[in-house]
Amino acid sequence: MDGIFITLEGPDGSGKTTALQEIVRKLPEYTEKQIFATREPGGSPIAEKIREIILDTTHTEMDARTEALLYAASRRQHLVEKVIPALEKGAIVLCDRFVDSSIAYQGFARGIGEAGIFKINEFATEGIQPDLTLFLDIPAEVGLERILTNQDSREYNRLDQEKLDFHEKVREGYLRLAAEYPERIVTINGCLSPEEVAKQCLQSIQNRFYKEL
C-alpha cells in the first residue's frame, strides 16, 4: 500500500480528537497527498453500530472479553471498508485510536493480558500496523477532569464512567507500549496547550516522513 497510516492514542480526555482536527487542517501545507481522517470504534456504518453497543452507558454488565471482541470486530469492518482502500489510493490516513487502545484498555486495564488482545487483533487486522503512532500522555486525573468539564461538548460514554484506578491502568498500559515500541510510538505531553500539542504532532509527522512531506 502506498499510503501512510498514522494513529493517535491516549487516555480519555487526552485531547486526541482536537489534535487530529488541527493536524487535518495544517497537513495540506506540507503534502499534496489526500488526507483521510477517521476514528475507532466506528468510522464506517457497520462499525458505528458496533460502537453504539460498546459505549452505551447502560451496558454496564458487558464482559471484558465481549468488549474486546466487539472492538476487534468494529476494527475489522472499518479497515476493509475505509482504511485499506484509502491507503491503497496513497492517502495519509489519520485514525483516532487503533489496536494500542485495545491493548491499553482491555489488555491492561481490564486484565485480559496483552497476548490475548494482540492475537484477536492480529486476526482482525491481518497484521496491519500504523507507520507512526502519536501517544498523547496525560495523568488519569487530568483526563477525567477534562471529561467532567467538557461534558456538554463531547460524547460521554460507558468507559468515562470507570473509576480513577481504571484510567490509571490505561495510562500504565500506554506507557508500557511506548517503551516497547519506541520506533513506532512518539510520546507527546498532552498537558500542553492544544496548539502546542498539535504543533508537536505535526513536527513528529514531518520528522518521520521527511521525504514524503
Q: Is the pLDDT of residue 19 over 60?
A: yes
Q: What is the mean pLDDT of residues 145-161?
A: 74
pLDDT-derived band at 144 (thresholds 50, 70, 90) equals: confident
| Predicted local distance difference test score (pLDDT) of residue 24 | 96
Q: What does pTM read for this prediction? A: 0.93
- In order of 63, 84, 156, 163, 179, the CA distances from 198 in angstroms are 36, 25, 23, 28, 22
Residue 100 neighbours by CB under 8 Å, 6+ apart: 7, 9, 133, 135, 174, 177, 185
CATH class name, domain 4-208: alpha beta
pLDDT, tens only, 70-98: 999 999 999 999 999 999 999 999 999 99
Domain ranges in the chain are 4-208
Summarize the confidence of residues 131-159 as an average pLDDT: 84
Residue listed under C-alpha cell 496525560: 138
Q: Counting Cβ atoms within 10 Å, is residue 211 exposed (0-12), middle (13-18) or buried (19+)?
A: exposed
* Cell numbers given for 99: 489496536
pLDDT: which is higher, 19 or 212: 19
CA distance 71 to 122: 13
Length of the chain: 213
What is the average pLDDT value for the chain, to the nearest integer?
93
